[in-house]
């Protein structure tokens, strides 16, 4: 036998066989000499002796770096190895014996602990949960220049910039690992790289937990192969965003939890796309996004689909869509819905602003505005210079302020039948009315139920426009003295088809100050409260008259004391 094949680093034959079987399931126990050979016999498997070596880092003569750049090598690590490992060869495996955990800690803390440079089909596997710890470098692991890495059963913590990163067209798979705490980001992909992370926990990293930037792709909760089985990931305690998809990147998040982030829990922005609750090959799995210090989800200048998910108990807005961003909330990327809930967030449930748009269906928006410090901005849905289309099966209820508030040229259509959900929506039991159009905002409601809201159910101020059509039914609570609608300051209210406004405790409609009310042939307006009228046109100082125009067919306008008072009527 040549001296080249005899080395003190040779692994036991039984271990070689088990490693072979683990790394290649087609290899059976027959390959381990029938399961009989247990001796340290380098001569028994001369071909394997060259490929599998043991590195015991308690021996200063043993290093991973001295063996790692032999193509096809399998390195079984034991103990704590203090070194910086650079991998440039293909088909390298770093693993443990499955019994004793191992650690790789950076010798030079200004460099990555492990760096892959154009290396393909690299495997780093701790075998058992947390079996391999990687720490102490700027990065725990950096894969660059087209490298490919499968990382599993590891802990990556105590690194000064990032935990695990794939960059420059590299591909990274992370499974059954804990990433964090690290100073900086947890795990991510940058510069046209790809990342899939499954069955893992990313926790207490000081920047983002998981990220994809600069034309990269991230898949959270589903493997690279696109197996239609959710493998959930928990992302918690990030100092910045929990998950960030930015700068023309794309990502999907299926199952799992994003919680306790210091900034937005899940950010999609700057030309990027995010699929929340949807994976490939028709995989679906809701994501729970909770208890963040800021927004639950923010879509800024990107687009997202958010389905089957719960966004709850975040300090600010549940879902914020801004700066020409767009989102489908509760709506699949075709026909149908995936039940979604936006609840108990400190400020607005869903806020659409500054050229942004949203399509919402099959979604419950409830109990938002839990933070009194948010002031008036505690609506179920707020639209500011943006647009929202509500398909059917939405419930907007128990929010601290108005159910739907639209301002400054924003527009909301309630009851769009284009998504296969019908057109029925319920807006009830909100703190300051059901719908409110303000400062040029427009709300068109078809077949909606607007009921039991505190304050007037329908409100339009300062050139706001409200259109009620289809079978929209507006009612007020059974106690108190509440008008069905209040319209003031140059605003417009139009009823058509069979829409109705009925107050059992006050006037049907109260209006003043250069407003216009139009009531069609099939509409019903009732003011059945004590002293109530169908339409009360009142004056506000210094005006001495209401300056209201009331038009249409008033045959179905009734009240306890009459049809209307103080209005300029044209029939």
Nearest Cα neighbor of 437 from 397, 474, 405 is 405
Across 528-567, where does the E strand assignment appear? 535-537, 548-552, 557-559, 564-565
Show me where the domains of the chain are located.
Answer: 295-436, 455-571
pLDDT for res 19: 52
**Rounded CA gap, 370 and 375, in Å?**
10
End-to-end CA distance of the chain: 111
> Averaged over 346-363, what is the pLDDT?
98
Helix, strand or coil for residue 14? helix
CA distance to 32, 121, 274, 310, 507, per residue, from 314 (Å): 55, 41, 20, 11, 38
% residues pLDDT > 90 (the chain) = 86
Confidence of residue 546 (pLDDT cuts 50, 70, 90): confident
Q: Is the Cβ–Cβ distance between 210 and 235 less than 8 Å? A: yes
Secondary element (H or E) of residue 49: helix 46-49
Q: Spell 174-213 as b/e; 16+ CB within 10 A means b.
A: bbbbbbbbbbbbbbbbbbbbbbbbbbbbbbbbbbbbbbbb
- Note if the bond before 111 is cis, omega within 30 degrees: no
pLDDT at residue 211 above 80? Answer: yes
Q: Is the Cβ–Cβ distance between 172 and 116 less than 8 Å? A: no
**Rounded CA gap, 337 and 51, in Å?**
53
pLDDT for res 248: 98
Residues 6+ apart with CB under 8 A from 184: 159, 160, 161, 162, 163, 205, 206, 207
- Tell me the per-residue pLDDT of 232-270, one tens digit each, with 9 for 90 and over: 999 999 999 999 999 999 999 999 999 999 999 999 999
Q: Is the Cβ–Cβ distance between 342 and 373 less than 8 Å? A: no
Q: Is the Cβ–Cβ distance between 261 and 209 less than 8 Å? A: yes
User: In whole angstroms, how large is the CA radius of gyration of the chain?
Assistant: 32
- Note if the bond before 203 is cis, omega within 30 degrees: no
- Tell me the per-residue pLDDT of 121-160, one tens digit each, with 9 for 90 and over: 999 999 999 999 999 999 999 999 999 999 999 999 999 9
- Tell me the per-residue pLDDT of 160-180, one tens digit each, with 9 for 90 and over: 999 999 999 999 999 999 999
**Rounded CA gap, 518 and 260, in Å?**
49
**Rounded CA gap, 445 and 457, in Å?**
13
Q: What's 284's DSSP letter?
A: B
pLDDT for res 60: 85
pLDDT for res 18: 52
The two tokens of residue 327 are 């989102």
What are the φ/ψ torsions at residue 118 (nearest 5 degrees)? 65, 25
pLDDT at residue 448 above 80? Answer: yes
3-class secondary structure per residue, 63-117:
CCCCCCCCCCCEEEEEEEEECCEEECCCCCEEECCCCCCEEEECCCCCCCCEEEE
The two tokens of residue 7 are 């080395």
> Averaged over 204-211, what is the pLDDT?
98
Confidence of residue 545 (pLDDT cuts 50, 70, 90): confident
pLDDT for res 571: 79
Q: Is the Cβ–Cβ distance between 368 and 376 less than 8 Å? A: no
Secondary element (H or E) of residue 46: helix 46-49
Q: Is the Cβ–Cβ distance between 252 and 278 less than 8 Å? A: yes
**Residue where the block lists tokens 């920047």:** 207
């Amino acid at each position: 036998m040549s001296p080249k094949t005899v080395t003190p680093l040779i692994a036991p034959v039984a271990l070689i066989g088990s490693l072979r079987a683990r790394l290649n399931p087609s290899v059976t126990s027959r390959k381990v000499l029938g399961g009989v050979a247990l001796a340290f016999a380098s001569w028994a498997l001369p071909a394997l002796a060259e490929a599998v070596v043991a590195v015991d880092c308690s021996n200063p003569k043993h290093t991973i770096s001295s063996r790692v750049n032999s193509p096809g090598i399998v390195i079984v690590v034991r103990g704590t190895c203090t070194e910086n490992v650079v991998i440039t060869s293909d088909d390298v495996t770093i693993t443990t014996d499955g019994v004793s955990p191992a650690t790789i800690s950076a010798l030079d803390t200004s460099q990555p602990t492990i760096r892959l440079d154009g290396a393909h089909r690299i495997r780093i596997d701790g075998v058992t949960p947390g079996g391999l710890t990687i720490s102490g470098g700027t990065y725990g692991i950096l894969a660059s220049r087209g490298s490919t890495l499968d990382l599993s059963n590891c802990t990556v913590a105590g690194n000064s910039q990032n935990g695990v990163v794939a960059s420059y067209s590299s591909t990274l798979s992370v499974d059954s690992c804990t990433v964090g705490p690290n100073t900086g980001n947890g795990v991510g992909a940058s510069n046209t790289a790809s990342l899939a992370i499954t069955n893992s926990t990313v926790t207490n990293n000081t920047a983002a937990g998981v990220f994809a930037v600069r034309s990269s792709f991230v898949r959270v909760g589903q493997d690279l192969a696109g197996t239609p089985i959710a493998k959930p990931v928990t992302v918690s305690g990030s100092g910045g965003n929990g998950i960030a998809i930015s700068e023309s990147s794309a990502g999907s998040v299926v199952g799992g939890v994003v919680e306790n982030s210091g900034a937005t829990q899940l950010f999609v922005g700057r030309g990027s796309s995010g699929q929340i609750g949807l994976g490939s090959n028709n995989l679906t799995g809701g994501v729970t996004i909770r208890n963040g210090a800021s927004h639950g989800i923010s879509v800024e200048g990107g687009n997202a689909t958010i389905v089957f998910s719960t966004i709850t108990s975040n300090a600010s807005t549940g879902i914020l869509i801004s700066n020409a961003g767009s989102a489908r909330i509760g709506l699949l990327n075709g026909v149908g819905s995936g039940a979604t809930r936006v609840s108990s967030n400190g400020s607005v449930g869903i806020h659409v602003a500054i050229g942004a748009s949203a399509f919402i269906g099959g979604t419950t928006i409830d109990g938002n505005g839990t933070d009194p410090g948010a002031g008036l901005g505690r609506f179920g849905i707020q639209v500011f210079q943006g647009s929202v289309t509500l398909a059917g099966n939405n419930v907007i209820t128990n929010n601290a302020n108005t159910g739907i508030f639209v301002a400054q040229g924003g527009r909301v259509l309630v009851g769009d039948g284009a998504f296969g959900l019908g057109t029925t929506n319920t807006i009830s039991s909100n703190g300051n009315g059901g719908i409110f159009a303000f400062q040029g905002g427009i709300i068109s409601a078809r077949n909606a139920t607007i009921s039991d809201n505190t304050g007037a159910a329908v409100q339009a101020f300062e050139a706001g426009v409200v259109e009620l059509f289809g079978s929209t039914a507006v009612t007020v609570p059974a106690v108190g003295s509440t008008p069905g609608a209040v319209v003031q300051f140059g605003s417009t209210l139009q009823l058509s088809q069979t829409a109705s406004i009925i107050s059992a405790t006050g006037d049907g409609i109260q209006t003043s100050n250069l407003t216009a009310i139009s009531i069609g042939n099939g509409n019903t307006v009732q003011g059945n409260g004590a002293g109530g009228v169908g339409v009360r046109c009142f004056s506000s100082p210094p005006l001495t008259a209401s300056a209201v125009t009331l038009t249409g067919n008033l045959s179905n306008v009734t009240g306890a004391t009459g049809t209307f008072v103080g209005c300029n009527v044209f029939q």
